[in-house]
Structure 1
């Protein structure tokens, strides 16, 4: 039985990483796809855990060899998803989650049309700015650039199956867990999971 691919997208500062981490803690059947990036690690991040951190020449070499399912330049840095690894995981029946931007989501859906898309929104632009500043990891210039791009990113929300407004973190996490559970209960997935039952129902 094929696994389910989940795509989670949000503007920077909307709480996506926190929600995904909470989902992984509450549902051991979901694994995270580790993307490649050329941005520098933030404090506490480790290579191979949050991202596969590579320099620009290495990234371009991997891209040119066709290693990536999708790639994009976001805020001056490159991000990409390993095509071969992701295909292997889904075919092996493992539910896998991708944290990518809307551009990457569009490209992934071309290869995985059954992927479940979730867009995380901040409760307001003012709150988004407060969260970005509260990180104390980015300069004023970077924060201004992220805020400028956020509205444009959020306009792609209608391309996703589910929308979660992250006003209160516990409630938003409950919503994300509910999306994963609902996806597993789709008729096609249940048919794969219980073929004998459905074969009985389809008998004349």
Structure 2
């Protein structure tokens, strides 16, 4: 059986995390990639489980060697990215790999690892996305507005992806992604 890397992308509050948890629960052969970061571990975080914690110099070396599938500087301070080697190791071990990334990350992966299958998770409507973001209540009005503006940009780029899955129901969206994964194997 052939295994692959699958990029999962979508706007804030679309339910990416929920769908990914369902994928992992339903298909034990899927491995969720672990990001590398230059930030310090928080209490309870374990190197190689939550993140690969690296020094800024080690991160630079990975980038310069082409060993990052994608990376970014977040809030002008810490860098995060997807190391190539663990992804390849998981694929070589016969596992499908999920990479949960933002739009910029998906575009970088398209360049650095073009064999990865790109899946965009979309809301049924923009109004549904607004409602989900407001209902979860984790952001104030200014942050919600900023996230919704970013979501408009991300939704406008959905056609860049190999597949678009509408998350109108978590179980149905999960089924659709599993079907995509199965058809590609």
1:176–1:126 Cα change, 3 Å = same
Aligned partners of 2:174, 2:84: CA distance in 1, in Å? Answer: 28
Indicate whether 1:181 and 2:177 are aligned.
no
Aligned partners of 1:32, 1:70: CA distance in 2, in Å? Answer: 15
Instruction: Check conservation: 2:165, 2:176, Cα contact below 8 A.
Output: yes
Q: Give the alignment of 1:1-204 within 5 angstroms.
A: 3-36=3-36, 51-52=50-51, 60-66=56-62, 68-73=68-73, 78-184=79-185
1:53–1:148 Cα change, 3 Å = farther
Per-residue CA shift, 1:51-80, capped at 9, x if unaligned? 4286xxx66444312253211256777531
Per-residue CA shift, 1:148-193, capped at 9, x if unaligned? 1111111221121111111122211211111111111xxxxxxxxx
Per-residue CA shift, 1:127-148, capped at 9, x if unaligned? 1122122223223222211101
Aligned residue for 1:195? none
Aligned partners of 1:17, 1:112: CA distance in 2, in Å? Answer: 23
Shift of 1:38: 7.4
The count of residues paired between Structure 1 and Structure 2 equals 178
Kindly report the root-mean-square deviation, in angstroms, between the aligned alpha carbons of the 2 structures. 2.9
- What TM-score do you get using the length of structure 2 for normalisation? 0.81
1:65–1:2 Cα change, 3 Å = farther
**Structure 1 runs, 4 residues or longer, greater than 3 Å off:** 36-41, 45-51, 58-62, 73-79
1:74–1:171 Cα change, 3 Å = farther
Which structure 2 segments of 5+ residues have no match?
Answer: none
Shift of 1:29: 1.0
SS in 2 for 1:31: strand
Aligned partners of 2:161, 2:143: CA distance in 1, in Å? Answer: 27
Instruction: Check conservation: 1:129, 1:147, Cα contact below 8 A.
Output: yes
1:48–1:61 Cα change, 3 Å = same
| Bigger shift: residues 170-179 or 107-116 | 107-116
